[in-house]
């Protein structure tokens, strides 16, 4: 599961099964009530409107990519970048390490505007004991 605020940062977590019980609480923890949440038409998201969000879903199955300015292009682009990066670099990715790869690509994405400073920021996150 991943979330991107338009023009903002990515947050992502590997979730074994995209059920309502797993997805909706994560949205509630990370997205302010009243916000517009754009999703694909996955059934698990259907309750968002009743929970206080302005929920707009696009249905890719019928080739619906946007409803006005509402779309999922940002998150779809992020996952496409992850898939291309993993398939071009690794023969296989262990499910046990998948979160680490998602974290790596999140750091790259979230620092995309200042790539020269990315390495220094990464080093600052490491604590030496």
Domain boundaries, the chain: 2-124
Per-residue pLDDT of the chain (129 residues; tens, 9 = 90+): 899 988 889 999 999 888 999 999 999 999 999 999 999 999 999 999 999 999 999 999 999 999 999 999 999 999 999 999 898 888 888 889 999 999 989 988 988 888 788 788 778 877 665
Q: What is the pTM of this model?
A: 0.80
Q: What is the DSSP string of the chain?
A: -EEE-TTS-EEE---SS--HHHHHHHHHHHS-TT-EEEEES-GGGTTGGGGT-EEEEE-GGGT--EETTEE-HHHHHHHHHHHHHHHHH-S---TTTHHHHHHHHHHHHHTTT-HHHHHHHHHHT----
What pLDDT does 56 receive? 96
What pLDDT does 127 receive? 67
């Amino acid at each position: 599961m991943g979330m991107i605020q338009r023009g903002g940062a990515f947050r992502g977590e590997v979730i074994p099964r995209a059920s309502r019980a797993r997805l909706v609480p994560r949205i509630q923890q990370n997205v302010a009530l009243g916000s517009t949440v754009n999703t694909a038409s996955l059934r698990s998201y259907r309750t968002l409107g009743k929970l206080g969000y302005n929920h707009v879903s696009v249905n890719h199955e019928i080739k619906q990519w946007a409803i006005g300015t509402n779309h999922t292009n940002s998150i779809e682009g992020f996952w496409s970048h992850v898939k291309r990066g993993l398939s071009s670099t690794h023969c296989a990715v262990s499910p046990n390490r998948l979160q680490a790869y998602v974290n790596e690509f999140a750091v790259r994405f979230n620092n995309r505007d200042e790539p020269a400073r990315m390495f220094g920021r990464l080093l600052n996150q490491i604590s030496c004991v």
